[in-house]
Homo-oligomer: A and B are copies of this chain.
């Protein structure tokens, strides 16, 4: 199965690379209209996934992530139109010059080829991932979770119908209908067909991909983000930032999971924070011994807690004696996604920015801002937590490679 479908996607990637910007944009606009026109059809297929989920006794939060409504379908269409309006990175010349031998050397942006995406739950990723890969001249092989299979299938069907009527090979998008782990593993090892694999989902999924994949992987989205409240911090500001980073949307990767507090202000800050945050939403504090003394409620933190992405109203807390200890703690436990320091001290802010190893580093702001749209990319295929190829929010450029083109007139060496 993966052999057949892989070959199809690989073959289609050559056609995808040749599509003009106008063809790509026109198609994405048409697809946006078509999604809205097919609202009822999508909702009725989505209902099958919802019924299955309820039958399995899945939590209401997870069911909600799965649900497609007229509004959400209209939002997907809006997303498609936005991608259509972004500048096309393909063909962009990054640099060029004429060398000593008279060779005209140009470095040009080209598609990666075929992209594999493995994702969980939310069916809108199907449309998102397709649109970004298509805009960058790549073909894409999608593997969504079994819980969203009916929704994913109908969305890919609609894309394919539109591709066929636009006379574009429908192999530019394929969905693995077999959602078994065995089939996913074959996909992770399909070097022959895939140029890159982007997993999007839980830490468990991403670790499984890292372990099994022979296709080059871009790790995304595991965010064990930490906020350090320094001794010179404005404690009101620190309270606002921690409350926002922890509670505004706890299920996302740029939410804060961990708090590190300077010992000199721990006794004042921790009770104040706990009091204020619980007015917004009750939060469980998992804290080290020193922090527990300052808190009115909390449970002892394990080493595991400090390394954990809770994605829930839980916060790990650690009290430190100085900046170096804070840096050491964060570099030990963080997932290198986003970290923040709240401070008034110029040198501490500088030292933190220099010594913390993370994709995004904030001074006096919430970690919640790490996002392709906030960072001006106009789109987001995921947030890379690795250092090769792309780091932090990935937009269209992360789905491209480059090629040197050299024009000569008989030069030899």
Q: Mark A37-48, 1 if CB is under 8 A from B, else 0.
A: 000000000000
Interface residue tally on A, bucketed by range: 35 or more
> Given A99-B374, A361-B406, A375-B105, are A388 and B401 also a contact pair (CB < 8 Å)?
yes
* Smallest Cβ-Cβ distance to A407: which chain B residue: B363
Contacts of A408 in B (CB 8 A): 362-365
Contacts of A349 in B (CB 8 A): 407
Interface flag for A154 (CB, 8 Å):
no
From the candidates B17, B113, B412, name the one contacting A241 in the complex (CB within 8 A): B412
Q: In chain A, residues 201-251, which have Cβ atoms closer than 8 Å to a Cβ of chain B?
A: 210-211, 214, 216-218, 234, 237, 240-241, 243-245, 248
On whether the beta carbons of B214 and A413 are closer than 8 Å, the reply is no
Task: Answer yes or no: A392 CB below 8 A from chain B CBs.
Answer: yes
- The answer to whether A103 has its CB under 8 Å from any CB of chain B is yes
Closest B residue, CB atoms, query A113: B387
**B353, B362, B410: the one within 8 Å of A237 (CB):** B410
* Contact among B113, B375, B388, B410 for A365, CB-based, below 8 A: B410
Q: A376 — nearest CB in chain B belongs to which residue?
A: B97
Question: CB-nearest residue of chain B relative to A95?
Answer: B376
User: Which B residues lie within 8 Å of A357 (CB)?
Assistant: 113
Contact of A403 among B112, B358, B376 (CB under 8 A): B358
A86 to B360, CA, bound (A): 28
Q: How far is B101's CA from A375's CA once the two chains are assembled, in angstroms?
A: 11
Query: Does the CB pair B358–A196 fall under 8 Å?
Result: no
Asked if A360 and B404 sit within 8 Å, CB to CB, the answer is yes
Query: Contacts A196-B388, A241-B412 hold; do A361 and B405 have CB atoms under 8 A apart?
Result: yes
Is A406 within 8 A of B196, CB to CB? no
Q: Are B364 and A412 in contact (CB under 8 A)?
A: no
Contact partner, A112, options B113, B387, B412, Cβ 8 Å: B387
Q: Say whether A364 contacts B401, CB under 8 Å.
A: no
Q: In the complex, A14→B376 CA distance in Å? A: 30
Which one of A244, A361, A376, A410 has the highest number of Cβ atoms from chain B below 10 Å of its Cβ? Answer: A410
A334-386 with Cβ < 8 A to chain B: 349, 353-355, 357-366, 368-370, 374-376, 386
Closest-CB distance, A190 to chain B (whole angstroms):
14
In the complex, which residues of chain B have a beta carbon less than 8 angstroms from the beta carbon of A368? Answer: 412-413
- For A218, give the chain B residue with the smallest CB separation: B388
In the bound complex, what is the Cα–Cα distance between A408 and B343 (angstroms)? Answer: 11
Q: Are B113 and A406 in contact (CB under 8 A)?
A: no
| Beta-carbon contact of A406 and B369 below 8 Å | yes
Chain B residue nearest to A402 (CB atoms) is B391
- A410-B214 CB under 8 A given contacts A105-B375, A401-B387: no
Contact A364 B105 (CB under 8 A): no
Shortest Cβ distance from A353 into B: residue:
B405
7 CB < 8 A contacts A-B: A241-B412, A245-B412, A359-B403, A364-B410, A365-B409, A366-B411, A369-B411
Residues of A within 8 A of B (CB): 14, 17-18, 97, 99, 101, 103, 105, 107, 112-113, 195-196, 210-211, 214, 216-218, 234, 237, 240-241, 243-245, 248, 349, 353-355, 357-366, 368-370, 374-376, 386-389, 391-392, 401-413
Knowing that A112-B387, A218-B388 touch, tell me 12 more A-B residue pairs with CB under 8 angstroms. A18-B354, A112-B388, A210-B214, A240-B410, A349-B407, A359-B403, A361-B405, A362-B407, A366-B411, A369-B411, A391-B401, A391-B404
